[in-house]
Amino acid sequence: MYAISEYPDVPAIEKRIEALIGTPVRRPGDAVLADYHAWYEKNTATSKAAAEEAARFIPGGVQHNLALNDPWPLDIVRAEGAYLWDADGNRYIDFLQAGGPTVLGGNYPLIREKVTELLAECGPVTGMLHQYEIRLAKLIHDFMPNVQKFRMLGSGTEGVMAAIRAARAYTGKAHVIKVGGAYHGWSDQVVYGLRIPGTGSLEAAGIPAGAYALTQETAPGDLDALRARLTANAAEGGTAAVMVEPVGPESGTHPVRHEFNRQVRELCDEFGALLVFDEVVTGFRLGMGGAQGYFEVRPDLTVFGKCVAGGYPAAGGVGGSDEVMGVFAGGLTAAGKRALIGGTLAANPLSCAAGYHTLVEMDRTGAPVKAGRAGDRLRAGLDALIARYALPYVTYNIGSIVHLHTSGVLHLSLDHPDFFTELGPRKDMLEQMSMAYAAEGVITLAGSRIYTSMADTDAVIDDALAAFERVFAKV
Ligand SMILES: Cc1ncc(COP(=O)(O)O)c(C=O)c1O
């Protein structure tokens, strides 16, 4: 039922990661990287030209923060199942999966047909009620009984904003605690403690300090620190919400022990804070019951994104109990007491139709479990390669979320005496590895994360492993 066949041994992984960041970077040498650059020059001329034009009109030359841009972003023209094709006809195995939503595989025909039917009937948006809004909300409730009411929004970022607003409106408290390293979208109040735990406002350019003054971070898995925060906050009006990614920050880049979520639930109950699960990634990727079903822990609020619109635009929302979600009563007559959320394109029929049919199809086909088995096969193969080439790299998987840490940059500690000298080369290495994998025919998420899908057959995984081996052999 769930994508995870065996939960990772977190203390063992933490030890290996510690050893990785204690080892000098181990990457393909400069001559090998130059060969890969030469491959791009020879084979991706159309992408290069597109990148030059993009750089004139798009800041940084790419719209996505995670787009591969060394030596230049690839101009992708076709997606199907396990593969992407660029404008020069090169085929790549797609482990980016658009950042996670396409558990069925890329450009799944049935969803495309349903969306096309909907568009022919009523277009993408009317601003009125549509049956698909009801069908999607009801289906989510069927899969996640804790989500009695669901409010569709435009993105995971908006879902997080809404969850924080609901928690504050419902509890009358103000503080919000997140786990260091976690990304919960880019709204002012959560661009705090991103990627590397403990970094606080390091990435908060353009955000006034007041906007995150009530946001706090605690180290991944550190329950004592969380208790201390909750205790300190209790003397200052209390904590509205503790927000976690249930598999650990950045989809488990900093993994947490299995019992962590249950223990956070207990702390929230003790201190009267709401527990918010950010299931933007885990929502339906881990199984139709999400992380809350897998861990058997009830959050008060759940944030959705990605799969909730099946890879189609405007993917986000928030759900929870009747009582808590009551603060969002919609419509004109509810004005006055409600917490305001909304949006011109929130809950448009297109996103709801895509999300509804995607979830039905994921359930019917057992896509989360199949994608999880692909993740298991890939991780086992990567482990074998790491051992064969005696590399310090660390790999583990949480179902279809596979981590491959080669540089360890996100695990550097601010307490590390050489933090700032280590940061640059380790960050560069991620980009170099990402480039090498792509030249060998595999697209990853930022060179360190891999999302598998139902389309990843054993043959696809074995091809990918052969590509990883070609890179590892040159380290
Ligand atoms: C855990 C998590 N929360 C929130 C978000 C933000 O979602 P969106 O990009 O739809 O705004 C993301 C995006 O990757 C995410 O991974």
CATH number reported for the structural domain that contains residue 322 in this entry: 3.40.640.10
Domain containing residue 141:
125-347
Please count the structural domains in the chain. 2
Shared domain check, 336 and 229 = yes
Percent of the chain past pLDDT 70, that is, above it, reads: 98
Shared domain check, 137 and 84 = no
Shared domain check, 462 and 419 = yes
Q: Is the CB of 305 under 6 A from ligand 1?
A: yes
Kindly state whether residue 386 falls inside one of the protein's structural domains: yes
Kindly state whether residue 118 falls inside one of the protein's structural domains: no
Quote the CA–CA distance of 174 and 302 in Å, as a whole number: 19
Ligand 1 atom nearest the C-alpha of 316 is: 10
Shared domain check, 318 and 415 = no
Q: Is the CB of 451 under 6 A from ligand 1?
A: no
Residue 308 structure tokens: 């909730």
Tell how far the Cα of 336 is from the centroid of ligand 1, in angstroms.
30
Kindly state whether residue 4 falls inside one of the protein's structural domains: no
- Which residue among 65, 102, 179, 183 has the greatest number of ligand 1 atoms within 8 angstroms of its CB, and so is best to mutate? 183
Quote the CA–CA distance of 377 and 283 in Å, as a whole number: 22
Domain CATH for 387: 3.90.1150.10
Tell how far the Cα of 192 is from the centroid of ligand 1, in angstroms.
14
119-128, 325-334, 444-453: range with lowest mean pLDDT: 325-334
User: Which domain-ending residue is among 312, 347, 382?
Assistant: 347
Average pLDDT estimate for 300-314: 97
Shared domain check, 333 and 192 = yes
User: Which domain-ending residue is among 347, 380, 415?
Assistant: 347
Kindly state whether residue 120 falls inside one of the protein's structural domains: no
Residues 6 or more apart whose Cβ sits within 8 Å of residue 71: 37, 40, 48, 435
Shared domain check, 339 and 196 = yes
Q: What is the pLDDT of residues 246-265, one digit of tens each?
A: 999 999 999 999 999 999 99
Shared domain check, 413 and 330 = no
Sequential DSSP letters for 196-251: STT-TTTT-TT--GGGGTTEEEE-TT-HHHHHHHHHHHHTTT-EEEEEE-TT-HHH
pLDDT at 419: 87
Q: Is the CB of 279 under 6 A from ligand 1?
A: no
Kindly state whether residue 116 falls inside one of the protein's structural domains: no
User: Which domain-ending residue is among 320, 347, 374?
Assistant: 347
Average pLDDT estimate for 334-341: 75
Kindly state whether residue 435 falls inside one of the protein's structural domains: yes
pLDDT at 64: 82
Shared domain check, 266 and 156 = yes
Tell how far the Cα of 472 is from the centroid of ligand 1, in angstroms.
31
Shared domain check, 468 and 439 = yes
Ligand 1 atom nearest the C-alpha of 158 is: 11
H helix and E strand count, the chain: 15, 14
Quote the CA–CA distance of 362 and 249 in Å, as a whole number: 25
Kindly state whether residue 115 falls inside one of the protein's structural domains: no
Confidence of residue 60 (pLDDT cuts 50, 70, 90): confident
Shared domain check, 192 and 47 = no
Which residue type is seen at 58?
I
Burial 2-21 (b: 16+ CB within 10 A, else e): bbbeeebebeebbebbeebb
pLDDT at 265: 98
Q: What is the pLDDT of residues 338-361, one digit of tens each?
A: 899 999 999 899 999 999 999 999
Shared domain check, 37 and 129 = no
Ligand 1 atom nearest the C-alpha of 306 is: 10
Shared domain check, 136 and 85 = no
Kindly state whether residue 196 falls inside one of the protein's structural domains: yes
The pTM for the full model equals 0.97
Tell how far the Cα of 156 is from the centroid of ligand 1, in angstroms.
5
- Give the sign of the dihedral formed by CA 332, CA 334, CA 340, CA 341: negative
Tell me if 316 sits within 8 A of 153, measured CB to CB.
Answer: yes
